[in-house]
Amino acid sequence: MSAYRQPVSAFWWLRQWSYLLFVLRELSSVFVAWFVVYLLLLVAAVGDGARAYEDFLAWSGHGWVLVLNLVATAFVLLHAVTWFALAPRAIVVPRVPPWAVLVAHYAAWALLSAGVAWVVLR
Amino acid sequence: MIKMEVTRFRPGEDDAPIVQSYEVPLRKEWAVLDGLNYIKDQLDGTLSYRWSCRMGICGSCGMTVNGKPQLSCATFLTDYAPGPVRVEPLRNFPVIRDLVVDISDFMTKLPKVKPWLIHDGEVPEDEFLQTPREMDEYKKYSMCINCMLCYSACPVYALEPEFLGPAAIALGQRYNLDSRDDGALERRDVLASAAGAWACTFVGECSTACPKGVDPAGAIQRYKLTAAVSALKDFLLPRGARR
């Protein structure tokens, strides 16, 4: 007598919305990595002088780079929002309500973004 | 009447499961389990499935109902009207017969997390005292009824069967968080292994599927933080100050 082993479909992640969202969240790490590479390219261009920086800006203006960066932004936002939503379940602080952990994450995000904006725009 | 499409598998006879349809009365107080009992009593006595308490306590009657892991005693036929209701065995487990799955993999893994009180020092003569706040720390995780819905919902367990799994880790945490317990260090090698908490990618479906509100996904993420802090202490602190 042998038991029947239920096969796992290669498309298991299409079976329900929550699985698909999870796979998209995992995929977002590729775009996070891309932004790290993009930042390093920017730093290298700035380091190589004004001409290299102008070239980098011109290259960044290409249609495909813009589209790539827009898609990457969407994935990075998905990554941040879904991760923040899960954070209160991972970080349980005695006598601190879960919503406070969530708010703290968004506050830290806003603060860091404001700091970056100040450095870039001043 | 409502149509129930039930997966059948007869070991030694069938190579793969087949679907068999039955018409059962649609009554507002009938759960899917009542439908199966009607089939067993009135239509086809050869149908095999597990059940016991009929009230969401024993954890025996877990099945896949219309694609979702459910306790068949707590899932009502009227919610699926006009039908059909598709009843399959729990996913991610070998099928022994019809809707009966083999959970020996879980039964082997469970004792590895030592789900019992490990108390250093003297055991009090009459009873352990615990404040309500201390009990609240672990109570949620102690509600597990080993129904296996979380394993059935977990894609990590489906793809990596060596994964310790949601219920086993949550039960390890249940004792780690108990003020009467001193066994966290003994459980660490298993819970913090690659097949333990770190294999979890926080899909979160185990907590959605759990009929008792245990939140295994939350327990696992909390344990990751504990394990990381513990590993850091091992690295930074002298031996005597680690605990």
Q: Is the pLDDT assigned to residue A107 strictly greater than 60?
A: yes
For B238, residues 6+ apart whose C-beta sits below 8 A from its C-beta are: none
CATH 3.10.20.30 domain locations along chain B: 2-101
Given the structure tokens 């993420």, which residue do they identify? Answer: B221
What does the block give as tokens for B203? 């899909």
> CB distance B159–A8 less than 8 Å?
yes
**Among candidates A1, A22, A92 on the partner chain, residue whose Cβ is nearest the Cβ of B11:** A1
Rounded to two decimals, the pTM is 0.89
Residue type, A84: F
CA distances from A24 to A5, A48, B33, B174 (A): 28, 36, 36, 31
Length of chain A, in residues: 122
Residues of A within 8 A of B155 (CB-CB) are 12-13, 19, 22
pLDDT reported for residue B240: 63
CB atoms within 10 A of CB B189: 10
Span A57-85, pLDDT tens digits: 999 999 999 999 999 999 999 999 988 98
Q: Closest approach of chain A CAs to the CA of B15, in angstroms?
A: 8
| Domain at B2-101, CATH homologous superfamily | Beta-grasp domain (3.10.20.30)
pLDDT reported for residue B69: 97
Q: A42-47: long-range contacts at Cβ-Cβ below 8 A with a sequence spacing of 24 or more?
A: none
pLDDT reported for residue B186: 94
Q: Closest approach of chain A CAs to the CA of B93, in angstroms?
A: 7
Output the CATH code of domain B104-241: 1.10.1060.10
Give, rounded to a whole angstrom, the gap between the first and last alpha carbons of chain A: 75
pLDDT reported for residue B82: 92
Residues of B within 8 A of A12 (CB-CB) are 155, 158
Q: Which stretches of chain B score pLDDT less than 70? A: 240-243
CB atoms within 10 A of CB B80: 19
**Among candidates B67, B93, B218 on the partner chain, residue whose Cβ is nearest the Cβ of A15:** B67
Give the integer Cα–Cα distance in Å for B210 and B216: 8
Q: Closest approach of chain B CAs to the CA of A106, in angstroms?
A: 20
Q: Closest approach of chain B CAs to the CA of A1, in angstroms?
A: 6
Is the reported ipTM for this assembly greater than 0.95?
Answer: no
Residues of B within 8 A of A84 (CB-CB) are none
Band of the pLDDT at A89, cuts 50, 70, 90? confident
> CB distance B67–A16 less than 8 Å?
yes
CB B89 within 8 A of CB B100: yes
Buried b (16+ CB within 10 A) or exposed e, A62-96: eeeeeeebeebeebbebbeebebebbbbbbbeeee
Q: What is the DSSP string of B15-55?
A: SS-EEEEEEE---TT-BHHHHHHHIIIII-TT-------SS
> CB distance A4–B11 less than 8 Å?
yes
Q: What is the DSSP letter of B76?
A: B
